[in-house]
Structure 1
Amino acid sequence: MSPRRSDSRERMVRSTITLLREHGASATSIDRVLAHSGAPRGSVYHHFPGGRTQLIGEAVALAGEFMTGLIQAAIQAEDPVQAIDEWFAHWRDQLERSRYRAGCPVVAVAVETNDDAPQLTRSAGAVFTGWQEAFTALFRRHRLPEDRSRRLAALVVAAEEGAVILCRAEQSTAPMEAVATEIHDLLVHALSTRPAADTTPRP
Structure 2
Amino acid sequence: MSPRKSDSRERMVRSTADLLREYGASATTVDRVLAHSGAPRGSVYHHFPGGRTQLIEEAVELAGNLMAGVIDAAMQADDPLEGIDAFFTVWRDQLVNSHFRAGCPIVAVAVETNDEAPHLTHSAGAVFAGWQEAFTALFRRHGLPEDRSRRLAALVVSAEEGAVVLCRAQQSVEPMEAVAAEIHDLLVLTLSNRP
TM-score range, shorter chain: over 0.9
Moved over 4 A (4+): none
2:105 is aligned with what amino acid?
P
Question: What is the TM-score normalised by the length of structure 1?
Answer: 0.95
Could you tell me which residue of structure 2 aligns to residue 33 of structure 1? 33
CA RMSD after TM alignment? 0.5
Q: Report sequence identity in percent.
A: 79
Question: What is the TM-score normalised by the length of structure 2?
Answer: 0.99
How far, CA to CA, are the matches of 1:61 and 1:2 in structure 2? 27
Could you tell me which residue of structure 1 aligns to residue 117 of structure 2? 117
> How much does 1:187 deviate?
0.2
Superposed CA deviations along residues 39-58 of structure 1, whole A, max 9, x for unmatched, are: 00000010000000000000
> How much does 1:76 deviate?
1.8
How far, CA to CA, are the matches of 2:64 and 2:179 in structure 1? 22
How far, CA to CA, are the matches of 1:90 and 1:73 in structure 2? 12
List alignment gaps of at least 5 residues for structure 1. 196-203
1:4 is aligned with what amino acid?
R
2:160 is aligned with what amino acid?
E
How far, CA to CA, are the matches of 2:10 and 2:111 in structure 1? 25
How far, CA to CA, are the matches of 1:153 and 1:183 in structure 2? 11
Q: Which of the pair has more CA radius of gyration? A: 1
2:21 is aligned with what amino acid?
R
2:89 is aligned with what amino acid?
A
Could you tell me which residue of structure 1 aligns to residue 175 of structure 2? 175
Could you tell me which residue of structure 2 aligns to residue 131 of structure 1? 131
Could you tell me which residue of structure 1 aligns to residue 42 of structure 2? 42
> How much does 1:3 deviate?
1.4
How far, CA to CA, are the matches of 1:95 and 1:110 in structure 2? 19
Superposed CA deviations along residues 35-82 of structure 1, whole A, max 9, x for unmatched, are: 000100000010000000000000000000011111112112110011
Q: Secondary structure at the match of 1:34?
A: helix
Could you tell me which residue of structure 2 aligns to residue 79 of structure 1? 79
Superposed CA deviations along residues 117-151 of structure 1, whole A, max 9, x for unmatched, are: 01100100000000000000000000000000000
List alignment gaps of at least 5 residues for structure 2. none
> How does 1:56-75 map onto structure 2 within 5 Å?
56-75=56-75
Superposed CA deviations along residues 143-177 of structure 1, whole A, max 9, x for unmatched, are: 00000000000000000000000000000000000
Q: Secondary structure at the match of 1:15?
A: helix
How far, CA to CA, are the matches of 2:182 and 2:110 in structure 1? 25
1:17 aligns with 2:17: yes
